[in-house]
Amino acid sequence: MPMGSAGYVDLSRHVVSVELGHNLQFVIQAYSQSGAIARQSRLTFRTKYCNISQGICEIGDSKVEITVAWSQLIKNKMEIL
């Protein structure tokens, strides 16, 4: 995967939707030359109304720091009153 500026990995999605009370799970995989999955690591965050969640996913000798900024999607304007 190509590296962006300042060592960041550019993701195909920048916004995802997760229902409250559920989890957001990241799965990071490293592949062998044959194309088989050589290593795999998971990181799971429980949803929040707001704030951020941070975690580190280790896979082999590499570490990936993941930061999630949570915000609520308002379906009905009455929900914010």
* pLDDT tens digits for range 1-35: 666 777 777 777 778 889 889 999 999 998 999 99
Q: Three-state DSSP class for 29?
A: strand
**Cα distances (angstroms) measured from residue 14 to each of 10, 36, 40, 58:** 9, 27, 22, 21
Q: Is the pLDDT of residue 38 over 80?
A: yes
Instruction: Give the phi and the psi of residue 5 in degrees, each rounded to 5.
Output: -65, 150
Contact call for residues 17 and 73 (beta carbons, < 8 A)? yes
Contact call for residues 42 and 27 (beta carbons, < 8 A)? yes
Surface-to-core class of residue 3, CB atoms within 10 Å of its CB (0-12 exposed, 13-18 middle, 19+ buried): exposed
